[in-house]
Amino acid sequence: MRDHSSVHLDTRSPLVLNTRDLPRRPGAMRTVEQSIPAPKDLGLELIGVPEGAAVRLDLRLESVSEGVYVSGTATAPVEGECGRCLRPISDTLVVNLQELYAYEHSTTDETTDEDEVGRMQGDLIDLEPALRDAVVLALPNHPRCREDCPGLCPDCGVHWDDLPEGHTHGQVDPRWSALAKLKPEE
């Protein structure tokens, strides 16, 4: 069993849920419907939820014998850029959350690993790791502005959509390349 006292949850953090008003009686339930500001780094390198953007939580907190079962959805705006053409992408992401948070010193707490089952700290639940996992899993590793984005011409950097058909760059004669370098920058 790990030492829970090493992590202190901040009750002011919007992703720390307080279950004080949820009776520890199996079947007791309450809902959480609120918007919270996104923590930073919620996403991947090329696409993610902007820090501070409104994340809508629609959750059900249910007492079960060993802890609290949290289920529902988080809805958040995502912004990023196309991995092929660098055009900005904006979208709305809806992720499902389904996570059991075990009471401290419950059998589940004593017999499972923390990466299998979440843990409560007193009455507190830290939703951030589950939210982070769900968001990261739902985001594309290779974001595209559209499925068949052709990307950019490697020579001039213009989107293939904006170039005429058959667009090419004639090879510069190596004898002229020295002169080309002398040309003033435009």
Assess 85 for contact with Zn ion (CB under 5 A): yes
Assess 155 for contact with Zn ion (CB under 5 A): yes
Phi first, then psi, for residue 86 (nearest 5°) are 70, 10
Assess 46 for contact with Zn ion (CB under 5 A): no
Closest contact distance (angstroms) between CB of 144 and Zn ion is 6
Cβ proximity to Zn ion: between 137 and 156 the closer is 156
- DSSP per residue over 42-63, as a string? EE-SSEEEPTT-EEEEEEEEEE
Map the footprint of Zn ion across residues 104-123, applying CB under 5 A: none
Q: Look up residue 84 and give its two tokens.
A: 């092929």
Closest contact distance (angstroms) between CB of 145 and Zn ion is 3
Assess 82 for contact with Zn ion (CB under 5 A): yes
Fill in the DSSP letter of residue 170. P
Burial of 165 (0-12, 13-18, 19+ CB in 10 A): exposed
Q: Which residue ranges make up the site for Zn ion (CB under 5 A)?
A: 82, 84-85, 87, 145, 149, 153, 155-156
